[in-house]
Amino acid sequence: MIEEEENYSSRQLFHKKICVEEIFKDAYIQNSVQFNIVEVTNKDNTAFITGIDFTSAKLLFAFDSDIRVVSDEHLIKLHFSLDGEYSYQPLSHIKYLVQIPENHCNMFYYPTTEGRDIFFKSNIKVFEIYVKPTLLQKLLGDEFKGSFGRLQEAISNSNSYVLWDKSKFIPPQIRSKINEIIQCPYKGEIRKRYLENTLTVLLIDFLMGRQISKISNNNVKLLNSDYLALVKVEAYIRKNLKETLKILDLSEIAGFNTTKLKRDFKKVYGMPVFKYITALRMEFAKTLITQDGASIAHAAFEVGYANPQHFTTAFKRTMGYLPSELKSAIQ
């Protein structure tokens, strides 16, 4: 539920009350998992926000958009910033601000305390997954105690919790799963089964680190300015997959020499720059083929390959199967 709230720090806020029982009424996986898509669009310095808690598009004040969040029971939220930048701040720790840049993610624990959702001025699209803590324990078993000791302690003490001080990038494979959920074509019972299966895989991949946690375990130590420079490079790569991307140009964007860019990029994103670029290109091509009905030649062109055969070779090497197999599966 969203309603106008009192002034906070001399700014008008909206108040979002998370009613846990209502969220999980028609949820997935034993009524313990629910997802939500929030979009913020800006025009003439005025923000409109839509999401599961809104009955219609809601007008926010000019410039940046703050929403005060309070939960009536504790729950866990996985947040994926698909477009635009988002921040979260638990009000019990007013100096603690978690930034989630575009194409990055993080996980929060909401006890029955207040926090702030902050959407910065730009067009924004976020994907959220709400999870009951009890399901996490069932899903992971003994791994929950071993891998999420701090979360378990936060739950016991009803303290706010954030998984990573510096949010991690969304791996192409997980972003692909998110797209499958958002664009699910099925209805009725088949839709529910499909979404439950996809959500389960996404949760396990996220939590057990097949894609993300192995990178976080490296204890990457970077200056915040260096981290933000790499975020800028990654955003440029994603928005220019069709173009010829050169390491010298990317180094200029970061303000690093090429050696530092290669080293730090691998630390943060878990793979060399050009392997990452190829992975993004193949996942985007997959989306074009399966969801937009693009031909293989068109998909190849859209991700920077003039020669469809070279694209097919790269796709097979990256994905483990031919792009023609995707066409066969959807026909």
Structure confidence by residue, pLDDT tens digits, 61-97: 444 556 667 677 788 889 999 988 888 777 766 566 7
Return the SS3 of 263: helix
pLDDT (average), residues 308-314: 94
Structure confidence at residue 243 as a pLDDT band (50, 70, 90): very high
- Per-residue pLDDT of 160-196, as tens digits, reads 788 887 788 888 888 888 988 988 888 999 999 999 9
Residue 213, pLDDT score: 46
pLDDT (average), residues 273-285: 92
Calculate ∠ Cα 51-57-60, nearest 5°: 95
Task: Name the residue ranges covered by the structural domains of the chain.
Answer: 2-165, 224-330
CATH number at 2-165: 2.60.120.10
String of DSSP letters for 186-254: --HHHHHHHHHHHHHHHHHHHHHTTTTHHHHTT-----HHHHHHHHHHHHHHHHTTTSPP-HHHHHHHH
CATH number at 224-330: 1.10.10.60
Residue 10, pLDDT score: 41
Residue 161, pLDDT score: 83
Structure confidence at residue 44 as a pLDDT band (50, 70, 90): low
- Per-residue pLDDT of 137-158, as tens digits, reads 787 777 777 778 888 888 888 8
Among 13, 16, 34, residue whose Cα is nearest residue 24? 34
